[in-house]
């Protein structure tokens, strides 16, 4: 039996192990990106639900509507993060 | 044995040689016929009774080191041996003191009490003399054989963790997954260290997995590669997980500058529901192709996560992430604690395991932080290097610690969600690393 250098063996394990872990994660990252772009392409997010407000018409209401939209968005964001 | 003599003398003087002639001996006879293995009862004097009672007290078991008490092992008598003098006396007292220290850490300091408290109590029970609770018929031994010796509990825990994990932050910023990979350097770096300390390759691999900071994975691997060291490895892994808030921050502060810690990270994009739904399947497919050895862990994890994200079996996913994981945590804690018996834990190897585990943990944290620093240099969007520390997979403890250290540097800077990305990637990373180690020793 030849003398085995265990530390050298352990270093080889390290190269293999870190290599496989990174390979796995790099492939995973690419798959996540691919998946995200495919999903965005074929199942685009539905347009954000517009706040229920009186029919769009007069220009002076525009500002008011934007404010309501902002408030609703803030509330939904807040309750989502709860 | 002075105490014993005094006790006996007292018993003798008080009631000199009473003999309890047995009445109703007919009844006794019948009972004997039914269970023939029962020893026939011989009349005893009260002094004999007193002295045999004394033999069964814990005080005697601790004082008298040569009573031939056997160690207990869930695997049964084959693995039992007479207890050494140290193990059955001072060793027990030391272990009970350690257990009390763990109670203190769990209750007063709040270090992962969910894990630490059951483990510590299991340790307390395992150190009870004469009761053999860690033996194959004792409560702890039964629990141990039920789910730890066959790797069942770690997989159930993985299932529950999968059902609790939200991969949203990872999906929103996928490149942070690489930080979870870098932190696995703790495993392989300390593997070299363990070999240098004189452990053989297989044992060293089992020990170094502690660097993944993942209790279930550690138990899983230890069982396959070094079952004799399972107790110390599991205890080390869980206690370091509990000590994440103590071990990590100094390393994180040492490796980053104040400006780096103050980096703010942008708002994460919104993740489509379908992305979350497909993700566990993608991970599982990938591990089937690359590393089937790791699929028991990743499979359980993916199932839990898929159940959650599917949105149609909320009842089941709710059970997995609450009741089931709670039950298993109780069992796992007590079962692991049974290995805190003095005869198992107070050996030189445990010390080596604890030291290597600590190094592994520190190296993993450091590698994650350094990787995050490098990524920050090359990335368009700023990356706070602190989130690299969350690459060790103690979920969600490591991410919380990152957030805390980040908030210390700049109040109001919330890194929690950003740190969850590397954190959950760390779980996958350490399962992959575990699969690699298993494949080497196949």
Flag whether pLDDT at A55 surpasses 80: no
CB-defined contacts A:B, below 8 A: 111
* Any B CB within 8 A of A74 CB: no
Closest residue in chain B to residue A37, using alpha carbons only: B275
The pLDDT of residue B24:
44
Closest residue in chain A to residue B269, using alpha carbons only: A36
Instruction: Report the gap between the CA of A36 and the closest CA in chain B (Å).
Output: 6
With CB atoms and an 8 Å threshold, state whether B290 touches A23: yes
Lowest mean pLDDT among A60-64, B121-125, B353-357: A60-64
The pLDDT of residue A60:
59
**Annotated domain spans of chain A:** 1-45, 47-82
**Annotated domain spans of chain B:** 99-440
With CB atoms and an 8 Å threshold, state whether B429 touches A21: yes
Flag whether pLDDT at A65 surpasses 50: yes
Contacts of A6 in chain B (CB under 8 A): 195, 200-201
At residue B103 the predicted structure's pLDDT band, cuts being 50, 70 and 90, is: very high
pLDDT tens digits along B233-246: 988 888 888 888 88
The pLDDT of residue B130:
85
pLDDT tens digits along B182-208: 999 999 999 998 999 888 899 999 999
List, in sequence order, the alpha helices (H) in B57-112: 58-63, 85-88, 90-107
Closest Cβ opposite residue B204 in set A10, A17, A45: A10
Flag whether pLDDT at B71 surpasses 90: no
* Cβ partners under 8 Å of residue B54, min gap 6: B4, B7, B8, B60
Closest Cβ opposite residue B436 in set A16, A27, A33: A16
Task: With beta carbons less than 8 A apart as the criterion, state whether B408 and B123 touch.
Answer: no
Nearest CA among B169, B193, B28 for reference residue A11: B193
pLDDT tens digits along B365-388: 999 999 999 999 998 888 999 999
- ipTM score of complex: 0.82
Chosen from B196, B274, B301 to mutate, greatest number of chain A CBs within 10 A: B274
The pLDDT of residue B238:
85
Instruction: Report the gap between the CA of B157 and the closest CA in chain A (Å).
Output: 22
d(CA B329, CA A28): 30
d(CA B303, CA B116): 27
Contacts of A9 in chain B (CB under 8 A): 195, 201
Nearest CA among B398, B323, B54, B356 for reference residue B191: B356
CA dihedral (B137, B142, B148, B152) in degrees, to 10, reads: 140
pLDDT tens digits along B113-139: 888 899 999 999 999 988 888 889 899
With CB atoms and an 8 Å threshold, state whether B181 touches A18: yes
């Amino acid at each position: 039996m030849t003398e085995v250098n265990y530390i050298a063996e352990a270093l080889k394990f390290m190269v293999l192990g870190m290599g496989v872990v990174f390979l796995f994660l790099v492939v995973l990252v690419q798959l996540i990106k691919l998946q995200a772009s495919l999903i965005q392409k074929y199942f685009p997010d539905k347009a954000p639900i517009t706040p229920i407000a009186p029919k769009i018409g007069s220009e002076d209401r525009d500002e008011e509507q934007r404010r309501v939209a902002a408030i609703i968005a803030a509330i939904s964001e807040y309750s989502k993060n709860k | 044995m002075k105490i014993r003599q005094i006790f006996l003398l007292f018993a003798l003087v008080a009631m000199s040689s009473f003999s309890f002639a047995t009445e109703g001996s007919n009844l006794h006879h019948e009972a004997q016929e039914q269970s023939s293995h029962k020893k026939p009862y011989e009349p005893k004097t009260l002094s004999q009774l007193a002295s045999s009672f004394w033999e069964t007290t814990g005080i005697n078991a601790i004082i008298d080191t040569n009573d031939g008490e056997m160690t207990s092992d869930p695997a049964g008598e084959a693995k039992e041996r007479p207890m050494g003098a140290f193990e059955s006396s001072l060793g027990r007292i030391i272990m009970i003191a350690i257990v009390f220290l763990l109670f203190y850490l769990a209750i007063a300091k709040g270090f992962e009490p969910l894990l630490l408290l059951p483990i510590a109590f299991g340790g307390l029970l395992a150190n009870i003399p004469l009761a053999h609770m860690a033996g194959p018929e004792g409560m702890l031994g039964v629990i141990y054989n039920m789910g730890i010796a066959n790797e069942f509990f770690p997989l159930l825990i993985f299932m529950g963790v999968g059902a609790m994990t939200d991969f949203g932050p990872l999906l929103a910023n996928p490149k942070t997954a690489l930080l979870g990979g870098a932190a696995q350097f703790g495993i392989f770096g300390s593997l070299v260290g363990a070999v240098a300390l004189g452990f053989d390759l297989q044992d060293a691999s089992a020990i170094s997995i502690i660097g993944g900071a993942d209790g279930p994975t550690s138990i899983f691997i230890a069982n396959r590669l070094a079952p004799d060291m399972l107790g110390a490895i599991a205890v080390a892994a869980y206690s370091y997980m509990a000590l994440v808030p103590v071990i990590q921050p100094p390393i994180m502060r040492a490796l980053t500058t104040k400006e780096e810690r103050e980096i703010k990270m942008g708002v994460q994009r919104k993740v489509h529901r379908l992305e979350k739904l497909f993700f566990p399947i993608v991970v599982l497919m990938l591990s089937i192709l690359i590393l089937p050895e790791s699929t028991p862990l990743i499979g359980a994890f993916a199932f839990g996560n898929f159940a959650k994200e599917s949105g149609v079996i909320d009842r089941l996913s709710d059970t997995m992430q609450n009741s089931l994981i709670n039950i298993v945590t109780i069992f796992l804690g007590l079962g692991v604690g049974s290995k805190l018996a003095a005869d198992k834990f107070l050996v030189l190897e445990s010390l080596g395991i604890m030291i290597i585990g600590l190094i592994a943990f520190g190296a993993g944290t450091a590698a994650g932080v350094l990787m995050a620093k490098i990524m920050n240099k090359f990335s368009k969007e700023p990356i706070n290097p602190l989130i690299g520390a969350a690459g060790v997979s103690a979920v969600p403890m490591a991410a919380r610690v990152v957030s805390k250290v980040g908030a210390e540097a700049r109040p109001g800077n919330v890194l929690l969600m950003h740190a969850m990305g590397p954190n959950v990637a760390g779980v996958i990373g350490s399962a992959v690393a575990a699969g690699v180690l298993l494949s080497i020793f196949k």
